[in-house]
């Protein structure tokens, strides 16, 4: 049923060959197979569906998840923290969430682990209209930028400013919720916002009809992991074959979606009433494609994680006070399910 890998990864988790056991709905009882031989698996996203999520819908449409024995059911999320907690409580089988939120929840005792980060270059960026006159970080001096206190792009903003040679006092920060940030940019109340360039930027461009400029943290040498798959610790122990099947299928779906971006986005059509329009989705997915690797993973299958990138992520996020200092990579991530 599920694609087989060597039993090495299973042995690393201290488990032998086991019968396929499900975790759907948080139940410890063995999952029943569907009539087509698949197992229903729920995946909670980090937010309502947007372009970044195209591979999941395309993977379903193309039968990729089915080939791995999975009937994937996608659920909208309400932020990565809530997704991480829902996975930890086994209200859903798996989650798709931002690494800083995942790591912070693990620090607080939530029993989850990352099983593969796919957005490996941070989408964090200062986002402004292309006609704003802000073309370089130096142009931010004296400007007002909308932020959301506590999120990773805002908390690491001082590190970005330091990287580009600015003082925190050089830029006025206006604290707003995510929706408020977009509204403030559209109305001209602020000069720009901090957030994910592959999400808010295309949304603002679509609503305003104006091009956007992105001052990316990664261009200043500041990078940390973003969104990826998370699993309950119990499922990783009891059903590593299922975890592996989901990781392999997701990696294949990301590859397929990257090879045919238009078809991938078309697979999202009509799947959620709160989804952006097709043009915005297309822009969001194409921006996402720029984030799928680092120098350490260039040319590897999507979702392949490098220990050095995790170590760098821990260093950046702990330095910003988002996660604990001195934590080891394996406290957040298991490499037992690297894509083939």
Q: Which of 13-17, 221-225, 251-255, 266-270 has the lowest mean pLDDT?
A: 13-17
Q: What pLDDT band is residue 118 in, cutting at 50, 70 and 90? A: very high
Position 11 scores a pLDDT of 37
With 60 as the cut, is the pLDDT of residue 7 above it? no
Could you say which DSSP state residue 48 is in?
Answer: S
Record the pTM: 0.89
**What is d(CA 127, CA 117) in angstroms, rounded to the nearest whole number?**
24
**CA nearest neighbour of 152 among 111, 99, 228:** 99
Across the range 53-82, mean pLDDT stands at 97
Q: Determine the distance from the C-alpha atom of residue 10 to the mean position of all C-alpha atoms in its chain, rounded to a whole number.
A: 25
Fold of 8-121+225-331: D-Maltodextrin-Binding Protein; domain 2 (3.40.190)
Residues 186-210: tens digit of each pLDDT: 999 999 999 999 999 999 999 999 9
With 70 as the cut, is the pLDDT of residue 259 above it? yes
With 80 as the cut, is the pLDDT of residue 292 above it? yes
Pick the CATH number of 124-220 from 3.40.190.10, 3.40.50.970, 2.60.40.10, 2.40.160.40: 3.40.190.10
Residues 304-340: tens digit of each pLDDT: 999 999 999 999 999 999 999 999 999 999 999 999 9
With 90 as the cut, is the pLDDT of residue 35 above it? no
Q: Which two tokens stand for residue 20?
A: 């396929």
Position 33 scores a pLDDT of 84
Q: What percent of the chain clears pLDDT 70, i.e. is strictly above it?
A: 91
Range(s) of the chain covered by CATH 3.40.190.10: 8-121+225-331, 124-220
Position 31 scores a pLDDT of 56
With 70 as the cut, is the pLDDT of residue 12 above it? no
| Sheet strand arrangement including 112-117 | 70-75, 39-44, 94-98, 227-232, 112-117
Position 27 scores a pLDDT of 42
Distances (CA, A) of 164 to 140, 146, 181, 216, 318: 11, 19, 23, 11, 20
């Amino acid at each position: 049923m599920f694609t087989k890998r060597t039993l090495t990864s299973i042995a690393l988790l201290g488990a032998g060959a086991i019968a396929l056991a499900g975790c759907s709905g948080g139940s410890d009882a063995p999952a029943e197979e569907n009539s087509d031989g698949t197992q229903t698996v729920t995946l909670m996203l980090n937010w309502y569906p947007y372009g970044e999520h195209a591979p999941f819908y395309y993977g379903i449409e193309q039968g990729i998840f089915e080939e791995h024995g999975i009937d994937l059911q996608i659920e909208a999320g309400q932020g990565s923290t809530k997704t991480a907690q829902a996975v930890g409580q086994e209200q859903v089988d798996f989650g798709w969430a931002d690494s800083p939120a995942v790591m912070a929840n693990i620090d607080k005792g939530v029993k989850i682990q990352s099983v593969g980060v796919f957005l490996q270059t941070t989408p964090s960026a200062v986002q402004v209209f292309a006609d704003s006159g802000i073309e370089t970080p130096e142009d931010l001096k004296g400007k007002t930028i909308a932020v959301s206190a506590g999120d990773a792009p805002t908390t690491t903003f001082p590190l970005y400013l330091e990287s580009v040679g600015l003082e925190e006092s050089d830029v006025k920060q206006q604290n707003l919720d995510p929706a408020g940030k977009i509204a403030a940019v559209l109305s001209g109340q602020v000069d720009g916002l901090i957030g994910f360039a592959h999400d808010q930027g295309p949304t603002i461009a679509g609503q305003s009809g104006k091009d956007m400029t992105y001052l990316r943290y990664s261009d200043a040498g500041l990078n940390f992991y973003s969104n990826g798959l998370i699993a309950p610790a119990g499922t990783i122990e009891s059903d590593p074959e299922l975890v592996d099947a989901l990781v392999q299928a997701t990696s294949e779906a990301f590859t397929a979606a990257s090879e045919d971006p238009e078809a991938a986005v078309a697979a999202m059509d009509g799947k959620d009433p709160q989804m952006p329009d097709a043009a915005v989705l297309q822009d969001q997915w194409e921006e996402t494609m720029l984030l799928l690797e680092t120098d350490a993973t260039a040319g590897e299958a999507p979702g392949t994680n490098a220990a050095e990138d995790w170590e760098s992520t821990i260093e950046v996020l702990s330095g910003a006070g988002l996660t604990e200092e001195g934590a080891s990579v394996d406290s957040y991530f298991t490499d037992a399910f690297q894509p083939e």
